[in-house]
């Protein structure tokens, strides 16, 4: 995988962002382009299946998650959402995927299970709204993977390592780049969209209630998805990130390193230690009780 976005941009001089990532993958894994593309297409299709298989009646084992995607769908159908139909659809898909994950359904970790709603919410909604081909959506996933790969090499993509900015922040940056690719942005614009998206989520703590991938993770997928779209729109309007994209990723690493461990997926800080969060944790069934 590439160590910097700058490297991808220079490798893309003779081809494109998508092809640079594809070629690097083929070289690294010693496989043919068709094999790599087949696997990536399967990932997109798995995202689609996961979205189709959402079950609005399911509730997670803890009782904390479920049925909210259905509420958003209803409000959207009734045209009650201020954000409008398209953003409404993105929100709905993000929540649905997060809930499916919490309810032990099959999802695609992208880059993680906790942030699995961001990319599909953005990409599936765009495919529905704009009629992009599966081929174009697959290319967009390569762009997202290229950005995610750089973030994984320079910083981290796990909440335990860098907080939620490393999960929802990375997913949002990846989605922003993918959207910008679909919108016809240049290689530089793809990187700047990723930078703007990541900048907006820098410092986000990983503070899940009772240590579960439910509160606040599911709804944070919404902000990750919508933030990707606004970042891409800003860039396509001609706005740039003042801080160069690779430096933004380094800033994320810096913040993650300085973040206390109570805010890195330990369930010992933030929302997890609010009175309500603590109550949830105390009531949660565990294996000791099961013995009785």
Return residues touching another protein (CB under 8 A).
1, 21, 25, 28-29, 39-40, 42-43, 46, 60-62, 100-114, 116, 119, 141-142, 144-146, 148-149, 152, 157-158, 160, 174, 210-214, 267, 284-288, 290-291
Q: Integer distance in angstroms from the first to the last C-alpha of the chain? A: 50
Q: In three state form, how does the secondary structure of 167-192 look?
A: CHHHHHHHHHHHHHHHCCCCHHHHHH
**Residue 238 CB, nearest approach to another protein (Å):** 29
Contact 193, 177 (CB under 8 A): yes
**Residue 243 CB, nearest approach to another protein (Å):** 23
Q: Which is nearer to another protein, 29 or 257 (CB)?
A: 29
| Residue entry with tokens 């209803």 | 74
Q: Which is nearer to another protein, 88 or 208 (CB)?
A: 208
**Residue 78 CB, nearest approach to another protein (Å):** 29
**Residue 166 CB, nearest approach to another protein (Å):** 12
Q: Which is nearer to another protein, 41 or 240 (CB)?
A: 41
Q: How far apart are CA 67 and CA 54, in angstroms?
A: 10
Q: Which is nearer to another protein, 87 or 116 (CB)?
A: 116
**Residue 88 CB, nearest approach to another protein (Å):** 24
Residue 270 CB partners (closer than 8 Å, separation 6+): 205, 207, 262, 263
Q: How far apart are CA 167 and CA 65, in angstroms?
A: 19
**Residue 59 CB, nearest approach to another protein (Å):** 12
Q: Which is nearer to another protein, 36 or 200 (CB)?
A: 36
In 3D, which of 288, 203, 219 has the Cα closest to residue 254? 203
Q: Which is nearer to another protein, 10 or 53 (CB)?
A: 53
State yes or no: cis peptide before 216, omega within 30 of 0. Answer: yes
SS3 264: strand
């Amino acid at each position: 995988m590439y160590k910097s976005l700058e490297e991808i941009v220079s490798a893309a001089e003779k081809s494109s962002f998508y092809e640079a990532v594809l070629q690097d993958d083929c070289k690294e894994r010693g496989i043919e382009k068709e094999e790599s593309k087949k696997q990536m297409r399967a990932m997109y299709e798995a995202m689609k299946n996961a979205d189709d298989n959402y079950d609005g009646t399911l509730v997670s084992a803890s009782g904390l998650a479920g049925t909210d995607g259905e509420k958003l769908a209803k409000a959207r159908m009734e045209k009650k959402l201020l954000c409008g139909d398209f953003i409404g659809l993105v929100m709905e898909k993000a929540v649905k995927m997060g809930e499916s994950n919490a309810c032990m359904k099959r999802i695609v970790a992208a880059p993680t299970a906790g942030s699995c709603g961001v990319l599909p919410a953005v990409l599936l909604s765009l495919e529905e709204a704009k009629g992009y081909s599966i081929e174009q959506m697959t290319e967009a996933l390569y762009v997202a993977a290229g950005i995610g790969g750089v973030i994984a090499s320079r910083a981290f993509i796990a909440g335990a390592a860098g907080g939620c900015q490393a999960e929802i922040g990375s997913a949002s940056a990846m989605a922003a780049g993918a959207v910008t690719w679909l919108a016809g942005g240049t290689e530089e614009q793809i990187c700047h969209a990723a930078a703007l998206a990541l900048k907006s989520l820098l410092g986000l703590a990983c503070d899940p209630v009772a240590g579960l991938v439910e509160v606040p993770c599911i709804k944070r997928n919404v902000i990750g998805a919508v933030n990707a779209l606004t970042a891409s729109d800003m860039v396509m309007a001609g706005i740039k990130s003042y801080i160069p994209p690779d430096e933004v990723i380094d800033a994320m690493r810096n913040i993650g390193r300085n973040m206390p461990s109570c805010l890195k997926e330990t369930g010992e800080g933030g929302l997890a230690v609010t009175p309500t969060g603590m109550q949830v944790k105390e009531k949660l069934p565990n294996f000791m009780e099961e013995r009785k």
